[in-house]
Amino acid sequence: LTFPLLSVTLLVSFGSSMLYGYNLAVVNSPAVHIKAFYNATWSRRYGHGLAPGPLTLLYSLTVSIFALGGLVGSLLVGVLVERYGRNGVLSRSALLVLLAGGFLGFSRELGSPEMVIVGRSITGLHSGGCCRGCRAVHGPFSQLGPLQPSPRGLEKTSYSPWRQALRIFICLGVFFAQVLGLPELLGEDRFWPLFLSVVVFPASLQLLLLHCFPESPRYLLIERNDVCGATKALRRFLGKHDVQDVIEEMKEEQRSLSSVEMVSVWQLLWDRSVLWQTLSVVVVNAGMQLSGIDAIWFYTNVIFKNAGIPVSQIPYTTVGTGIIEVVAGLIGCFTIEKLGRRPLIITGFCAMGICSAGITFSLLLQTALPWMCYVSVACVVGIIAGFCVGPAGVPFLMTAELFTQSHRPAAYIVGGSLNWLCNFTIGFIFPFLQMSAGAFCYLVFCGICLLVALYIYLVIPETKNKTFMEISHIFA
């Protein structure tokens, strides 16, 4: 790796993937303080506080609105990248984060719960465009790694560690949110607006430094047909003068893309030749979010409180789960090319399903056996580890490998949209599911995880090192 390439990789990941992970977990620690702020504001406005049901509804909306913003961002990113380029999208996204930080940081001073909700939706818009949209993030660096011939013909693809590295930054973002949420740092009531608005610091750093790096060479050549600009950018990133071989590879890709007619989402859904591939994308992406991992990230403290963990120990227990998450993400990143996609994702979903059932049984038995609270913690750790090892990163690679270039963008739109919609669903309904079903709510996640694992085992083949035709024959 050259220094400019490594620098832009870290900068983009720090300002996008890490922020996505941070925003997933940042609402967990200050949940009690935010609810108290909502209740006090409502009391000042209308002369009475909020009942538990409406208060839970308002807070659930605050948590889950992030995903609706992410859905909008992921749908818009393709058009924005074509118009403004990768650096342009990242710069504008950073400005959105600064705006969101202003809403979140001054919400208590202005007595406005609406500002918290709006700020959360804007951070979701940023994450959808920069992280789950993937095109804006991968553009500057994923195409600059060592290129290898793709088994699908003229296409060239970068090594998957470039993409898998984004998983690590998401895990680090979650971990930093858990650490900053400790009582000794920003976990006190007076600091929660600052805690939510910390996102402005990495966004500001990205905004200041991004102009120091050239635009994505692939974007300059393929989208803008700027050979001179692409050559200069490649020389800067790769640290060598002779980049003609890479230029020729990009021109070859440009010619192959120009001859491919892209299908729409509607055409993809009605194309019977890829029916099972499309269904597999739907099952895997929906199952990834409905597995309960979002409930763990959004409501970790509530889950541990219900499990019987002493309130004073909950923040430190949460940080411990964050450490496990980072380690599991590293394991998944380094083993996916050796073990393959299928074993990791099946193992991950099975582990999550078993651990979800384990939480139910431990909660039912904790009255008779007080030490069962530690079993609950172990099961939460198991869910996080199982997710990070397999389901966290495999669906993205699998979507790319199940489709040809003509169908791939539409498949990503389907998978990404389901990701965000299911993320919103879990974030919104989990508190109510927990109130109505109690300990048995985790059996819903158990059933989903095991059914998805069974589907993958019966239907989806191993895609590692297989051509699209080979995969299509196996599906047929």
List, for residues 313-358, the tens digit of each pLDDT value: 888 888 988 888 888 888 877 777 777 788 889 999 999 999 999 9
User: Does pLDDT of 5 surpass 60?
Assistant: yes
Nearest to 233 by CA among 253, 218, 255: 218
| Confidence check: pLDDT of 387 > 60 | yes
pLDDT of residue 11: 67
Mean pLDDT (the chain) is: 82
Segment 370-379 mean pLDDT: 86
Query: Is it the case that residue 100 has pLDDT exceeding 80?
Result: yes
Q: What confidence score (pLDDT) does residue 239 get?
A: 76
What topology does CATH give the domain 266-475? Growth Hormone; Chain: A; (1.20.1250)
The pLDDT, as a whole number, for residue 338 is 78
Task: Reduce the DSSP state of residue 149 to 3 states and report it.
Answer: strand
Residues facing 158 on adjacent strands: 147
> In whole angstroms, how far apart are CA 157 and each of 140, 222, 340, 347, 441?
14, 15, 17, 27, 42
pLDDT of residue 164: 62
* pLDDT at 101 (0 to 100): 92
- Please name which of 44, 47, 64 lies closest in space to residue 56, comparing C-alpha atoms: 64
Amino acid identity for residue 301 in this structure:
N
What is the full DSSP assignment across 270-286? H-GGGHHHHHHHHHHHH
Region 16-39: what's the mean pLDDT?
Answer: 89
Averaged pLDDT, 418-445: 90
Q: Which is higher by pLDDT, 189 or 10? A: 189
Share of the chain above pLDDT 90, in %: 24
Domain layout of the chain by residue ranges: 1-145+159-213, 266-475
Do the domains 266-475 and 1-145+159-213 match in fold?
yes
Topology classification of domain 1-145+159-213: Growth Hormone; Chain: A; (1.20.1250)
Half-sphere exposure at residue 454, Cβ-oriented, CA atoms within 13 angstroms: 7
What does pTM read for this prediction? 0.84
Per-residue model confidence (pLDDT) at position 143: 46
| Residue 48: pLDDT over 50 | yes
Is the Cβ–Cβ distance between 143 and 217 less than 8 Å?
A: yes
pLDDT tens profile 141-178: 444 443 333 433 333 344 455 566 677 888 888 899 99
pLDDT of residue 454: 95
Predicted pLDDT of residue 3: 60
pLDDT at 358: 92
> In the predicted model, is pLDDT for residue 199 greater than 80?
yes
